[in-house]
């Protein structure tokens, strides 16, 4: 039986999307290839025809999703600065805390990336530097100061979500989000 020419590309995309959602919730060591394939609605064979192993999937997930959607934002500097503020409000939020499957890969997978091989870490570094660069582009002030503030924004937003997720529900878990959002926004317009 012949398959449509784009079937492999569609399967790869489905595996990346489902893999990202599953890895965000369960972590790299919390799920196997069979479960990742099942989440994507494909066989383990289809998984292995697209990715050499689970770490190759992690690399693909990082490469596709880290920094999205802000990295692809378009417009003038002023428009992109407003997009950054809107993105921060979405990112550093209770909704993001409570929905890791739909959220960013940085707070959920950074520790797994740190334990991964060089290819995964290189993809993470490349995408992280791209994100920081895109944020720095929309900040005012001297270039060195913009980069410092961009790194602080990224560290604050990731840390606020990670800390809040590790806490029990309730007011104490809300505080890191509230303070991280205010700190990140203050760095955008000091």
| Residue pLDDT, tens place only, 2-49 | 667 678 888 899 999 999 999 999 999 999 999 999 999 999 999 999
Residue 8 confidence (pLDDT): 80
Whole-model pTM? 0.91
The set of residues, in sequence order, having a beta carbon less than 8 Å from that of 29 and lying 6+ positions away, is 112
| Domain boundaries of the chain, sorted by first residue | 7-56, 66-188
CATH tag, 66-188: 1.10.357.10
Residue 3 confidence (pLDDT): 63
| Residue pLDDT, tens place only, 81-108 | 999 999 999 999 999 999 999 999 999 9
Looking at domain 7-56, which of 1.10.10.60, 1.20.1530.20, 2.40.340.10, 3.40.50.2300 is its CATH number? 1.10.10.60
Question: Is residue 1 scored above 60 in pLDDT?
Answer: no
Residue 189 confidence (pLDDT): 87
């Amino acid at each position: 039986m012949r398959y449509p020419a784009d079937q492999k590309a569609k399967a790869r995309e489905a595996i990346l999307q489902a893999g990202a959602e599953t890895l965000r919730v369960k972590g790299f060591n919390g799920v196997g290839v069979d479960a990742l394939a099942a989440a994507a609605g494909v066989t383990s064979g289809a998984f292995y025809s697209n990715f050499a192993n689970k770490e190759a999937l992690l690399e693909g997930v990082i490469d596709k999703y880290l920094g999205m959607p802000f990295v692809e934002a378009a417009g003038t500097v002023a428009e992109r600065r407003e997009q950054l503020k809107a993105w921060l409000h979405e990112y550093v939020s209770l909704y993001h805390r409570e929905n890791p499957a739909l959220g960013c890969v940085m707070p959920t997978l950074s520790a797994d990336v740190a334990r991964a091989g060089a290819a995964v870490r290189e993809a993470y570094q490349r995408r992280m530097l791209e994100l920081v660069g895109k944020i720095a582009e929309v900040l005012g002030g001297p270039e060195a100061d913009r980069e410092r503030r961009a790194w602080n924004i990224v560290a604050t937003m990731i840390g606020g979500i990670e800390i809040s997720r590790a806490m029990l529900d309730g007011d104490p878990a809300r505080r890191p989000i509230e303070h991280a959002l205010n700190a990140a926004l203050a760095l955008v317009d000091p």
